[in-house]
Amino acid sequence: MTAGKTSGPGRRVLRRLGPFEVPAIGLGCMNVSHAYGVPPTPEAAEHLLRTALDEGVTLFDTAALYGFGANEELLGRVLAGDRDRIVLASKCGMTGVDGRRVIDGRPETIRRTADRALTRMRVDVIDLYYLHRVDRRVPVEESVGAMAELVEAGKVRALGLSEASAGTLRRAYAVHPIAALQNEYSLWSRNPEQGTLAAARELGVALVAFSPLARGFLTSVPPEAGSLPDGDIRGGMPRFDARHYPANLALRSELAQIAEGAGLTLAQLALAWVVSRGPHVIAIPGTRSVTHLRENLSALDVDVSDEALDAAGRVLNASTVHGARYNEATLAEIDTERCGHAG
C-alpha cells in the first residue's frame, strides 16, 4: 500500500467469491446460536439478521455445527424469502452428534449433512459449501470429491475449505475448483501469512477471514478477565486465560490509542486492517448487537491511513500476542499452518 490516505473499500465495491460478488464484509452467524455462552432470544437473533440484510450484507455464513443445526434453521426461517438477495454459505465435515462436536469427512456423512442443511435452510441449493475441518482419517481428495458430487447434483454451487493449509488447498483444488478458504485472520491471528494468503491469491480463491475482531477482543467492550460465561469457547483459549490476558489487554490499549488518533473505533481499525491485506480477502465478523453490526459495516465507509494500518500491525501481531489461539488438543485437529507467539 502507498503512503497517505487510503479510502475504505466502500459498500458498493464488491469482491470476488467464486461465481459471486459480495462486499468485503459479510456476517458470521455462529455466535447467535453457538459457542459464546447463552444465545440471544430467537426474536433478537432474527432482528439482527433482518437488520444485516437491510444494511446491505449479502454474505451470510453458517454451519451444520452451529447450534447443532439451530443456526441453519434460523437462517432458513429468516432469510429464505430473500434468497435472491444473498449468498448463503454453510459447512459440512464437523457436526454435533449426541451432544458432542465430531469431525467426520467421510463422503456418506458429507452427503447426509448437505441434505439436512438444504431442509433446515429451506433452499434448493447452497451457494457456498465448506469442508469445515479436514478429517485426518479421510484423504481430503475423498471429502472434496463427495462435495464435487453435490455440485454436479445441483445441490451446491461452489466449494470451500475451512481451517486448511496451503498444501491442503492445492490438493483439494486439484479435485475441484475451490472458491473460498475460510481461516481465522486478524491482527492477532496471522496464520494465513504463513502460506494460505499467498496460495489463495495465486489460485484465485477468496480468503474469508473469520474472527477478524479477535473473538470480541478488538471491540469496544472486550471480555473482562475471568468473566466469560459457562460454555463460552474462549474459556479454553490460552489468549484469554489469566496467564496471558493482561498482557494482551495492554496491547489492546495501544491499539485503542492508534484508533482514537485516526478518528476510528477499534473495530473499524481492526476490520480495515484485515480487508486491506488483499483484494481477495473478505471478513465475516459476528455479533449479537445491532449497534456493533452497524459499526462493523461502517469500516467499509471510513478512510484509514496506511500509517494507522501499519502502526496497528506493529503493535499486535504473531510476535507480540501472548498465548496460542487454541489449546493443544484443538490445534492438533486443525490443518492450518501455525504461528509463534510472545508467551
Cα first-last separation, the chain: 31
- Residues 130 and 161: their CA atoms lie apart, in Å, by 5
Quick one: three-class SS letters along 138-198?
A: CCHHHHHHHHHHHHHCCCEEEEEEECCCHHHHHHHHHHCCCCEEEEECECCECHHHHCHHH
Burial of 194 by CB count in 10 Å (0-12 exposed, 13-18 middle, 19+ buried)? middle
Which residue among the candidates 36, 66, 130, 173 is catalytic per the annotation?
A: 66
Q: Which helix (H) or strand (E) holds 263?
A: none
Cα torsion angle, 31, 43, 94, 17, sign: negative
66 is catalytic: yes
**Parallel, antiparallel or unpaired: strands 94-97 and 100-103:** antiparallel
Cα torsion angle, 309, 203, 127, 168, sign: negative
Residue from 155, 173, 75, 83 nearest 112 by CA = 155
- Residues 280 and 282: their CA atoms lie apart, in Å, by 7
Task: Supply φ then ψ for residue 323, to 5 degrees.
Answer: 95, 150
Residue from 254, 137, 130 nearest 187 by CA = 254
Angle, CA 207 vertex, CA 218 and CA 19 arms, to 5°: 130
Residue from 219, 226, 332, 234 nearest 286 by CA = 219
**Contact between residue 128 and residue 117 where contact means Cβ atoms under 8 Å apart:** no
Q: Beta partners for 44?
A: none
Catalytic site positions? 66
